[in-house]
Structure 1
Amino acid sequence: MTHSRRSLLAAGATGTLALTAGCLGFALGNEPLEFDSDRVAPADETVAETGYEERTVEERTMERTEEIGGVERDFEASIWLSNYSKSVDYMGQTREGSAFAAVSVPGMEVAGQSVNPLDEMSNEELLTEFLGRADSDRGDIENIQQGESFTLEILGESRDVDTFVGESELEGEPIDVEIKLTSFDHEDDLLVLFGVLSKRFAAESANVELLMESAEHPIDT
């Protein structure tokens, strides 16, 4: 039972759940209420122009239980995660020099109440949530600190972009890492776009911004 990101239930005066058609199983607690998102991704031509390659595109499921009208109910949300990477020559070998990810999460509202745990997260918290899910060859990034913020024109509006710096390793050597991340609501979905690059490859910083600016949503799948 999959629905769009609209409020599907209303709380009755006695705290019970009043149904819209087709949600009987959810109201009785026999099955979860499902929400789906639309995929977001950088434009294909920008991916090619910046030298990135599509690595993985997948739809994952987020599950949670939330109390609605005094009753616990289960929810499922489809999350689209698209990963891209760019290879560079380093010490005579080809290595991943930078990575980019585009995530879409459905808005999840029932009886005027959000059941999406990501709604109130800051960009720093979203980074923690999704950094480990991005398909990449890089090692762990530690000691992440927030830096400056700026704006980019993305999907027709000015969006805030936060910069973070951290530490990782490349071929056993410590390296400084830069991360750029933006998040915003668009067409009923929460979109999260972020790029990860070694500061040794500073030119990739501009390419990450180009990928963000070229984002398209929704994309037919």
Structure 2
Amino acid sequence: MTREPTADERAESADAESFTRRRALAAGGAVALAGLAGCTAYDVVSGDEPAEFAAGTATVADATLSESGYELNEVTDETLAREVEVAGQTREVRVTNTVAEYDKAVELFGQRYQAAVFAAVTTPQIQVLGRALNPIAEMGTRERAEIILSRYENVGDLERGSEYSTTVLDAEADVVVYTADAEIEGTGASTELELHIGEPVAAGDDFVLPLAAYPTTFSDGENVRQMMNGIEHEPASDGD
């Protein structure tokens, strides 16, 4: 008896459409706003001021980074706000996410261009009426892939390949490997990419999502795995 494919499997096998370019941070931020970050229903409903919640920061340990060939590009955060309704009351909620981005560059005509990217996206956990939610986990792996693919241009032919498990913040995390065609931003140079799309891992009051993409000619799979193993998490300071 043949098994009917699931909706997710059908989606994975469909031809990938071109991706709209957008900043990874904005994509990660929009995810967090699907719910209420790190708070109880009482926290959100009470008070007239906006409810503000910030993620901590996930970075790669220096010892791991020195062996990978990657360099820290930037650690950035972005605060997004929206009106939410809880228990019949409306309140503004502001959520701040953090992205630590590392890269491995190529030199073309005397200019440095970002060819390989590794990112650790940190977003606050969400709890509403006692129910813990994880919007990032509710995204499919293809949707998570869009976050890192925003670093490239003219992306297409996204195809799912193998899977493996590795350690992220002392937890076992599943990683899905994809390939895609794209151009390195600003160069017009086409390349085949390999993507490693991790599963979000709980870290204190946050979730940490590891993502990577690099030209297949780099053969960086082992470096990416070690970068994931070397992620460290620093919680947000108190004061929300």
Shift in Å, 1:179: 0.8
User: Are residues 119 and 60 of structure 1, via their aligned partners in 2, closer, same or farther at CA, if it must alter by over 3 Å?
Assistant: same
Matched-pair contact (CA < 8 Å) for 2:168–2:201: no
Of 188, 191, 194, which residue of structure 2 is paired with 1:175?
191
Corresponding position: 1:217 with 2:236: no
Aligned position for 1:155: 169
Shift in Å, 1:112: 1.8
Q: Looking at CA atoms only, which structure, 1 or 2, has the larger radius of gyration?
A: 1
Whole-angstrom distance in 2 between the partners of 1:188 and 1:162: 25
Matched-pair contact (CA < 8 Å) for 2:153–2:183: yes
TM-score (norm 1): 0.77
Aligned position for 2:201: 184
Whole-angstrom distance in 1 between the partners of 2:133 and 2:84: 7
Equivalences, count: 198
1:31 is paired with a residue whose SS is coil
Q: What runs of 5+ residues in structure 1 fail to find an aligned partner?
A: 11-19
Q: What runs of 5+ residues in structure 2 fail to find an aligned partner?
A: 1-36
Whole-angstrom distance in 2 between the partners of 1:74 and 1:165: 39
Aligned position for 1:200: 217
Shift in Å, 1:186: 2.0
Shift in Å, 1:119: 4.9
Aligned position for 1:122: 140
Q: Which has the higher helix share?
A: 2
Aligned-residue Cα RMSD (Å) equals: 2.7
TM-score (norm 2): 0.71
The alignment-based identity, stated in percent, is 25
Aligned position for 1:9: 41
Q: Which has the higher strand share?
A: 1
Aligned position for 1:59: 77
Matched-pair contact (CA < 8 Å) for 2:55–2:235: no
1:141 is paired with a residue whose SS is strand
With a CA cutoff of 8 Å and minimum separation of 6, indicate the structure with the bigger relative contact order. Answer: 2
User: Are residues 76 and 220 of structure 1, via their aligned partners in 2, closer, same or farther at CA, if it must alter by over 3 Å?
Assistant: closer
Shift in Å, 1:216: 0.5
Of 136, 153, 174, which residue of structure 2 is paired with 1:139?
153
User: Are residues 190 and 72 of structure 1, via their aligned partners in 2, closer, same or farther at CA, if it must alter by over 3 Å?
Assistant: same
2:179 is paired with a residue whose SS is strand
Identify the range of structure 1 (209-218 vs 167-176) with the bigger mean alpha-carbon deviation.
Answer: 167-176
